[in-house]
Structure 1
Amino acid sequence: MTVYMLRCSDGSYYVGSTKQEIEARVWEHNNLPIDGYTTRRRPAVLVFTESYDRITDASARERQLKGWSRKKKEALIALAYEALPALSRRGHLVSSS
């Protein structure tokens, strides 16, 4: 199972997962006449993948990435793992005191 991220033509990111070959799935995003997020944002370019043996692990990771901020997704794409903790939503909370 592959979790993947696409950069769409409008600069937004799409996160998904697939059991099929990633190249085939990206082709579908760019060519099939299915109404969805990437349809009006073509072309979409593959910018990140992770592979998982278990579907449950891939589904959990997909949900996690969908909840991330744009900056955190971009740090992951750049493989800047050390920057990820500081980019968590909890890290951006401002103290009220």
Structure 2
Amino acid sequence: MYVYILTNTGRTVLYIGVTNDLPRRMYEHSTGRGDASKFTGRYQADLLVYFELLPDATQAIAREKVLKGWSRAKKDALVLAFNPTWQAIDLESWAAEATKR
């Protein structure tokens, strides 16, 4: 299970979610980009800047709740430590780099 953070190009919003299939979920976010009834569509938050892999749904949901309770500054620091440039994470490239390590 994954906990992930999305932002928009201006980094004005953060969206925190949970999924068991991060590539599929990212595709869903990107195709729902214009849906103004959804948070990610309304704020164009479809850039993956952070994720964690957790062993099961219970732990992932608990971690999501913890992160959602943090201040914006603390969330920013978490992303910065993981992804110093705040560049959108391309999961295919990320996986290729991980297999080289």
Structure 2 equivalent of residue 63 of structure 1: 65
**Residue 78 in structure 1 maps to residue 80 in structure 2:** yes
**Could you list the per-position Cα deviations for residues 66-95 of structure 1 after superposition, in whole angstroms to 9, with x for gaps in the alignment?**
111111001000127xxxxxxxxxxxxxxx
- Across the aligned residues of Structure 1 and Structure 2, the Cα RMSD in angstroms comes to 1.8
Matched residues in 2 for 1:70 and 1:19: separation? 25
Flag as ranges the 4+ runs of structure 1 deviating above 3 A: none
Measured in 1, the distance between the counterparts of 2:67 and 2:5 equals 9
Highest CA radius of gyration, 1 or 2?
1
Q: Does 1:6 align with 2:6?
A: yes
User: Which residue pairs with 1:23 in the alignment?
Assistant: 23
Answer yes or no: is the 8 Å Cα contact 1:9–1:41 preserved in 2. Answer: no
Taking structure 2 as the reference length, the TM-score comes to 0.69
Report Cα offsets for 1:33-52 as digits up to 9, x if no partner: 65311011125200100001
Could you say what secondary structure the match of 2:81 adopts?
coil
For structure 1, the 5+ residue unaligned runs are 81-97
Which residue of structure 2 lines up, in the alignment, with residue 83 of structure 1? none
TM-score (norm 1): 0.72
Judge conservation of contact 1:4–1:16 (CA < 8 Å) in 2.
yes
Between the aligned residues of both structures, percent identity stands at 38
Q: 1:43 to 1:59 in 2, by over 3 A?
A: closer
Q: In structure 2, which of residues 41, 44, 48 is the aligned counterpart of residue 42 of structure 1?
A: 44
